[in-house]
Structure 1
Amino acid sequence: MITVSPLIQPHEWIALSQHDASNLVLVDASAGPNAFENYKQQHLQGAIFANLETQLAEVGEDAALGGRHPLPTPESFSETLAHLGISPTSYVVIYDDKKGSNAAARFWWMLKAVGHTHVYVLDGGLQLALQAGIHTSQGENIPQYTTPYPTSDWALPQATLTDVQKASETNRTTIIDVRDTARYAGQHEPIDLIAGHIPTAINIPFVLNLHDDGTFKDKEALHALYAPFLSTVGPDNVIVHCGSGVTACHTLLAFASAGLPIPRLYVGSWSEWSRNNLPMITQKTN
């Protein structure tokens, strides 16, 4: 049996897949320019591939309008789930090659946001699964198309660019930036056009959710890290963002793992904010 945690351990996956694989969907959500080729070279046995750029995000040309990874419409996501063979009764387990810290958490959030019940992220991702001895294979697994997933709207809370702009001008909302400290401080920016952060945002790098081996810290540690923010302003007044709305979901997963309400996701994140001529805190010079 899978626990109520949104995380599943490698040994739990092994036991589950051996017990009843008829309604299980294992998804490799690794991202990056060579992600699909890497998947074909080696993936966990039975895993299908989900593409961050074309299936878990809307394809757009202007990052100023929604960021680098804007959400697809619920209707488009419904069709994606049908192509991935995922129905409302599926048990979905997702991993990536960033120890679960990248698109696996994004796909988890998206499924939770359309009301999916049984969706889990493989703790430690591909790396820990290999160490646990989970079998791998090569090539591509083609999912069996199913009927479009019933969706109407995204049900988990979000924040728009306007919401974040208003929040940054008051002290009633906590904005959490999960990028690494150097990017937050404006010391360097490897992807977006400008280095820095949103005014009033605080920095809690997503790596603080993890042990050194890449697995999530326990429920108590995560609760101690994030519960104070909710007790101060409440979940509706906590906004979480990253560079493009992907890694932020790792921290939302950490909130859920701690048994806490999931705060608002700013999907556009720094990639949208930094392209809209808005106030920014950049590196200070002496």
Structure 2
Amino acid sequence: MSPLIEIDELRSINGPVILIDARAGADTYQRYLSGHLEGAQHVDLDKDLAVKPEDPAYGGRHPLPPLEDFAKLLGKLGITPDTHVVVYDDKAAAFGGARIWWMLKAIGHKKVQVLNGGLQALINAGVPLSTEPYTAEPVQPYPVPPLYMGTADIEQAGDAAKDDTKMVIDVRESPRYLGQTEPIDLIAGHIPGAVNLPYTTNLDATGKYLPADELKKTYEKLFGNVLPSEVIVHCGSGVTACHTLLGMDYAGIKGPKLYVGSWSEWSRRDLPIATE
């Protein structure tokens, strides 16, 4: 199953599907009520797909929720291991859309797809939006594994950035990577040895992912001789990095890991920082 789904494909799905509207930022529920795909349930990035950290220096600004909490959320949404899930957000999957896709994949869920282009694609296609909230019939908490699969910690990211056989990819905008500006975290710059590939390079002018073969060429050129399993992807707080991990999966590249704490953790730990 492709990690991306187009609007026409969504319309033609035979059988039940759980739709998730996973926005981020202020007043997400009010924005959900102002217009969402009919039948989509609201999920909040900050409240549902992350926990508020006691100290961002240990886990970053968007730590993953405990697995038992995620299991309860999925049960509340009516999601079982056999459920076909389609998710979207209002920023071309760069916020909650790719994050919940990655979280579901990280617990072994098979049938999950992200709507290519997200809410804007629905609007562009003239799909009528609903202002009525929707809630699915809840089920038992999801049977989660002991750990999220495919993560890397701060030590692994630091070691990989210094190892020529491994690679750390920073998907933030280049001015943040270069230390020219930092609108969110305390210090500007990047992990020494990390390379920069902004997540926006995954997208075309309409906010949809570029064709899989084009993405594959970009990623493989960047990797060089580094195996995908030796690649770690990060961003500011482990959210938009999932957008690039989704793009890699779409391109047929399996194995790269997510450094969840990302720059929001690294920059608070008195560790080396580069600006070149």
1:11 match? 8
Are 1:72 and 2:65 matched, yes or no?
A: yes
- Give 1:171 shift: 2.2
Q: Distance in 2 between matches of 1:232 and 1:58?
A: 37
Of 196, 215, 229, the match for 1:236 = 229
Task: Report SS of the residue matched to 2:25.
Answer: coil
TM-score by length of 1: 0.93
Q: Distance in 1 between matches of 2:201 and 2:146?
A: 31
Q: Check conservation: 1:252, 1:262, Cα contact below 8 A.
A: no
2:200 match? 207
1:170 match? 163
1:157 match? 150
- Give the residue type in structure 1 aligned to 2:112: V
Q: Check conservation: 1:85, 1:144, Cα contact below 8 A.
A: yes
Q: Distance in 1 between matches of 2:212 and 2:162?
A: 33
User: For 1:81-160, what aligned pairs fall within 5 Å after superposition?
Assistant: 81-154=74-147, 156-160=149-153
Question: Could you report, residue by residue, the CA deviation over 1:198-246 in whole angstroms, capped at 9, with x for unpaired residues?
Answer: 1001100011111111111111101101124556121221110000000
Q: Distance in 2 between matches of 1:35 and 1:262?
A: 32
Q: Check conservation: 1:249, 1:265, Cα contact below 8 A.
A: yes
- Give 1:155 shift: 5.0
Q: Check conservation: 2:4, 2:115, Cα contact below 8 A.
A: yes
Q: Check conservation: 1:28, 1:48, Cα contact below 8 A.
A: yes
Q: Which runs of 5+ in 2 are unaligned?
A: none
Task: Report SS of the residue matched to 1:223.
Answer: helix
Q: Distance in 1 between matches of 2:68 and 2:223?
A: 32
Task: Report SS of the residue matched to 1:134.
Answer: coil
1:55 match? 48
Q: Check conservation: 1:10, 1:134, Cα contact below 8 A.
A: no
Q: Distance in 2 between matches of 1:281 and 1:230?
A: 21
Task: Report SS of the residue matched to 1:29.
Answer: strand
Q: Distance in 2 between matches of 1:36 and 1:138?
A: 11
- Give the residue type in structure 2 aligned to 1:6: P
Q: Check conservation: 2:3, 2:249, Cα contact below 8 A.
A: yes
- Give 1:96 shift: 0.3
Q: Check conservation: 2:242, 2:258, Cα contact below 8 A.
A: yes
Are 1:217 and 2:214 matched, yes or no?
A: no
2:172 match? 179
- Give the residue type in structure 2 aligned to 1:44: L
Q: Which runs of 5+ in 1 are unaligned?
A: none
- Give 1:61 shift: 2.4
Query: Identity over the aligned pairs, expressed in percent?
Result: 46
Task: Report SS of the residue matched to 2:87.
Answer: strand
Question: Could you report, residue by residue, the CA deviation over 1:90-128 in whole angstroms, capped at 9, with x for unpaired residues?
Answer: 110000000112210010000011111110000000001
2:35 match? 42
Q: Check conservation: 2:165, 2:230, Cα contact below 8 A.
A: yes
